């Protein structure tokens, strides 16, 4: 499917945002910069929302209060347990009597998002629906509002949230609920394969005495060039693994890809190797570092 034009956000229509971390905060700031509606935010720490509040967002105390005031709620948290807590926990979104479209930008299970959507619909007597809209592009893309946004959901719900998603980057509607999460799993398979190949090639080059910076810059101009190489090149050269995209999250994402492959009877020779590699990386204590730490992991492996 292609991009779906949505209706403009009404001036009186407030958007809510939960999850003002390294990805969520710049996304919220870009929505405010677009000046297409008001924004309410909540979370565990008001301090983390300071930049958004300074830019014009309004703080509310709980997810329920957010839902009371907002017809569109954006959630950007690490995984499904956090999503479920926000939707069904204490003072949660589902305890509001309002109607809302909840947009889950987290990378979660395609099956899980459908189950949660059904649960939310039952809990709210159909007043609340879910759109899945995971993103790709890292913190760089979140800051620059150039994220690729993979959207799944029914057409009416998707149309209603498209103007909001468009302030974060480029949203594309890919099919029914869960389609965005399947697309993100496919995206992560490609990213994992690419960073692994770059890292392995870098170790070979370094140990062969090549100038790594010159080599990677040269490769970026040819068929080996990629967005992953562009954004991770300097980190690999400098050995800078300060986290932007956390490596251990790849384990769950590749697990989602494996589940989708199983459901579609797809052989996965590359995926199988990648899953074992990232599980090994996490077991080696490197999981909380940046995805570029695959380079260090490969350096540490013995030659069989």
The CATH number of the domain where 239 resides is what?
1.10.1040.10
Q: How far apart are CA 59 and CA 44, in angstroms?
A: 11
Q: Which of 190-199, 244-253, 278-287 has the lowest mean pLDDT?
A: 244-253
Q: Are residues 251 and 170 in the same domain?
A: no
Long-range contacts of 260-267 (CB under 8 A, 24+ apart): 260/110, 260/182, 260/185, 260/186
So what's the pLDDT on residue 176? Answer: 98
User: Does residue 3 form part of some domain?
Assistant: no
Q: Are residues 51 and 92 in the same domain?
A: yes
Q: Please identify which residue in the block is written with the tokens 């924004």.
A: 39
Q: Are residues 173 and 28 in the same domain?
A: yes
So what's the pLDDT on residue 32? Answer: 97
Q: Are residues 54 and 127 in the same domain?
A: yes
pLDDT above 60 for 132 = yes
Local structure of 192: helix, strand or coil = helix
Q: Please identify which residue in the block is written with the tokens 């407030």.
A: 14
How high is the mean pLDDT of the chain? 95
Q: Are residues 108 and 25 in the same domain?
A: yes
The neighbouring-strand residues paired with 135 are 149
Which region, left, alpha or beta, applies to residue 76 given φ > 0 means left and ψ of -120 to 50 means alpha? beta
In tens, the pLDDT along 205-255 reads 999 999 999 999 999 999 999 999 999 999 999 999 998 889 999 999 999
| Percent of the residues in the chain that have a pLDDT greater than 70, as a whole number | 96
For CA atoms 64, 9, 125, 132, give the dihedral sign.
negative
What is the Cβ-side half-sphere exposure of residue 76, based on CA atoms within 13 angstroms?
24
In tens, the pLDDT along 91-130 reads 999 999 999 999 999 999 999 999 999 999 999 999 999 9
pTM: 0.91
User: Does residue 201 form part of some domain?
Assistant: yes
Q: Are residues 204 and 162 in the same domain?
A: no
Q: Are residues 187 and 248 in the same domain?
A: yes
User: Does residue 9 form part of some domain?
Assistant: no
pLDDT above 60 for 4 = no
| Residues taking part in catalysis | 184
Q: How far apart are CA 146 and CA 25, in angstroms?
A: 14
Q: Which two tokens stand for residue 158?
A: 């998707």
Averaged pLDDT, 162-171: 98
Q: Are residues 83 and 107 in the same domain?
A: yes
Which region, left, alpha or beta, applies to residue 255 given φ > 0 means left and ψ of -120 to 50 means alpha? alpha
* Residue partners of 155: CB distance under 8 A and separation at least 6: 4, 173
Q: Are residues 30 and 113 in the same domain?
A: yes
How far apart are the two ends of the chain, measured CA to CA in Å? 46
* Residue partners of 145: CB distance under 8 A and separation at least 6: 26, 30, 167, 168, 169
Q: Please identify which residue in the block is written with the tokens 């003002």.
A: 20
Furthest-apart CA atoms within the chain: distance in Å: 65
Quote the domain boundaries for residue 270. 182-300
Q: Are residues 167 and 203 in the same domain?
A: no
Q: How far apart are CA 266 and CA 96, in angstroms?
A: 42
In tens, the pLDDT along 56-96 reads 999 999 999 999 999 999 999 999 999 999 999 999 999 99
So what's the pLDDT on residue 5? Answer: 53
| Percent of the residues in the chain that have a pLDDT greater than 90, as a whole number | 92
pLDDT above 60 for 300 = yes
How far CA 252 is from CA of 108, 184, 231, 249, 271, in Å, comes to 8, 12, 22, 6, 12
Q: How far apart are CA 196 and CA 212, in angstroms?
A: 16
Q: How far apart are CA 37 and CA 193, in angstroms?
A: 40
Q: Are residues 67 and 124 in the same domain?
A: yes
Q: Are residues 21 and 167 in the same domain?
A: yes
Give the number of domains in the chain: 2
How far CA 203 is from CA of 197, 245, 262, in Å, comes to 10, 21, 33
């Amino acid at each position: 499917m292609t991009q779906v034009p949505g209706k403009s956000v009404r001036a009186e229509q407030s958007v809510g945002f939960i999850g003002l971390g390294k990805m969520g905060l710049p996304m919220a700031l870009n929505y405010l910069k677009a000046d297409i509606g008001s924004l309410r935010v909540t979370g565990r720490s008001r301090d983390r929302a300071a930049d958004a509040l300074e830019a014009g967002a309004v703080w509310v105390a709980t997810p329920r209060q957010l839902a009371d005031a907002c017809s569109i709620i954006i959630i950007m948290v690490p995984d499904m347990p956090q999503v479920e807590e926000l939707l069904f926990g204490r003072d949660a979104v589902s305890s509001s009597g309002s109607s809302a479209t909840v947009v889950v930008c987290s990378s979660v299970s395609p099956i899980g998002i459908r189950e949660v959507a059904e649960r939310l619909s039952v809990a709210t007597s159909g007043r609340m629906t879910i759109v899945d809209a995971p993103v790709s592009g890292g913190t760089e893309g979140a800051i620059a509002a150039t994220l690729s946004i993979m959207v799944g959901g029914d057409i009416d719900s998707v149309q209603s949230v498209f103007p909001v998603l468009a302030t974060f980057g480029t949203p594309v509607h890919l099919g029914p609920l869960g389609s965005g999460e399947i697309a993100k799993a496919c995206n992560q398979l490609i990213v994992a394969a690419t960073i692994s190949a770059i890292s392995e090639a870098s170790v070979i080059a370094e140990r062969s005495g090549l100038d790594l910076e010159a080599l990677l810059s040269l490769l970026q101009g040819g068929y080996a060039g990629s967005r992953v190489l562009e954004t991770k090149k300097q980190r690999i050269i400098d050995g800078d693994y300060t986290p932007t995209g956390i490596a251990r999250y790849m384990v769950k994402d590749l697990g989602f890809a494996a589940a989708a492959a199983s459901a579609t009877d797809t052989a996965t020779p590359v995926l199988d190797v990648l899953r074992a590699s990232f599980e090994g990386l996490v077991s080696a204590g490197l999981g909380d570092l940046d995805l570029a730490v695959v380079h260090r992991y490969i350096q540490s492996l013995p030659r069989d």
